[in-house]
Amino acid sequence: MSYRLLTIRALRDRLARHPAGRVALSLLHVAVTAALPLLLLWLAGCSTEPAPRDTHSPVSDNGEISSFFYSLLLYLDAAILAIVVAVWAYALVKFKKQDGDDTLPEQSHGNMKLEVIWTAIPTLIVVAITVPMLVGVFKMSKRHDPNQPVVEVDVTGKQWWWEFDYKNGVGAGLHTANELHLPADTAITLHMTSADVIHAWWVPRLGGKRDANPGRTYPMSFTPKVPGIYDGQCAELCGSSHALMGTKLIVHPIAAEIEVEYKGQKVKIESYDSWVKAQQQPAKAPVAELEKGLKLFKERTCPSCHLINGLEGTDVAARSASSGPNLTHVGSRMGIAANTLVNNPENIAKWISKPSAVKPGAKMPDGLVTPEDAKTIAAFLSSLK
């Protein structure tokens, strides 16, 4: 018996000489052919897990419209691709050049009937897509009637976080950051603007993006339908920490508290009214062991940018393009640094002791607090529920 290194071609030839080998080759061929599309799906990032930023699971009227057109285009395009590939494959087999046959195939240019058909069909398809899509675009850009009950919130993009000012409804006057809380089944109009460069508000499951431009205000009207927690992301390149400018949308039930699933965890969401009531409270004075945190917060000049309503010496910051997030209830938020880190005392300490390490270019300067002071301040901030 001789041992020789076989090339793939030699191995294939050898296998092809035996009936069992031919079956094995066919099976291998089928396996490779089936694996290629699966490999493509895998490379495309397809997953059966629920994705937090999935535009195919809309939670608002606008989301339903954009998801419908996405699906319409996807299925229509898939059908067209299947037809084109089928005709092409048929032609490949049927009109394959035969050995010894050098005659020219029948020439069909200038065939009026064909020209009309392949101009008319794509035109009809484009019209069938464009007309309903225009209707959808106008529906999505329609403002809610301001004479009806509408919750309106001013949304201001800042490098690199989001500021919210509630204009009316039970929450009128609330001033919060990064996590936008809205009531379900209620007409909402957001007014987008920016304090510095162009940002874009985008919560994929809500449907649609809206630019936040300095010096201008653009409205975005919609009705959230499903209570839950939805991730969002600034969608306009706005500087070094653009990718770290996240947001969260929390849609509250109107009536009682409910439990929702968020990233595999069960999370309770209270009613919108009870969230508003909690946010309207002034900050609680810290208990004795947290008082040092408040003292350091004031000494390290934090109140010159950050408001904490209701504590002496912490509600002095003037609102400006460069002022930072309102921290009155910072402990009640899920994330910090615009959703870059999970909100807990360790992460707050990490964030404030060296902001540039968490968020390059952040306006909060490095070196304001020592790592030891940062821990003390973080314990106090975390208590502000």
- By beta-carbon proximity to ligand CUA, the closer residue of 160 and 272 is 160
Based on the shown chain and the rule CB under 6 A, indicate whether residue 245 belongs to the binding site for ligand CUA.
yes
- By beta-carbon proximity to ligand CUA, the closer residue of 178 and 383 is 178
- Give me the 128-157 binding string for ligand CUA, x by CB under 6 A, dash otherwise: -----------------------------x
Based on the shown chain and the rule CB under 6 A, indicate whether residue 331 belongs to the binding site for ligand CUA.
no
- Give me the 187-226 binding string for ligand CUA, x by CB under 6 A, dash otherwise: ------------x---------------------------
Stretch that binds ligand CUA, among 55-63, 103-111, 237-245, 325-333 (CB under 6 A): 237-245
| Residue 353 near residue 303, CB atoms below 8 Å | no
Residues 6+ apart with CB under 8 A from 361: 159, 160, 239, 240, 241
Residues 6+ apart with CB under 8 A from 215: 193
Q: How far is CA 143 from CA 219, 220, 227, 269, in A?
A: 7, 7, 22, 28
> Cβ–Cβ contacts within 10 Å for residue 265, how many?
8
d(CA 122, CA 105): 27
Q: Which of 280, 283, 339, 288 is nearest to 306 (CA)?
A: 283
Stretch that binds ligand CUA, among 233-241, 272-280, 288-296, 298-306 (CB under 6 A): 233-241
Stretch that binds ligand CUA, among 86-94, 148-156, 183-191, 230-238 (CB under 6 A): 230-238
DSSP-derived letter for residue 257 is -
And the tokens for 161?
């976080």
- By beta-carbon proximity to ligand CUA, the closer residue of 194 and 271 is 194
- By beta-carbon proximity to ligand CUA, the closer residue of 153 and 378 is 153
| Residue 252 near residue 275, CB atoms below 8 Å | yes
And the tokens for 255?
């009536």
Q: Write down the least CB distance from residue 155 to ligand CUA, Å.
A: 12
289-294 CB contacts, 8 Å cutoff, 24+ apart: 290/379, 290/380, 290/383, 291/380, 292/376, 292/380, 293/376, 293/377, 293/378, 293/379, 293/380, 293/381, 294/380
Based on the shown chain and the rule CB under 6 A, indicate whether residue 242 belongs to the binding site for ligand CUA.
yes
Based on the shown chain and the rule CB under 6 A, indicate whether residue 338 belongs to the binding site for ligand CUA.
no
Which 156-185 residues touch ligand CUA, going by CB under 6 A? 157, 160
Which 56-85 residues touch ligand CUA, going by CB under 6 A? none
- By beta-carbon proximity to ligand CUA, the closer residue of 307 and 338 is 338
Note the residues at the interface with ligand CUA (CB under 6 A): 157, 160, 199, 234, 236-238, 242, 245
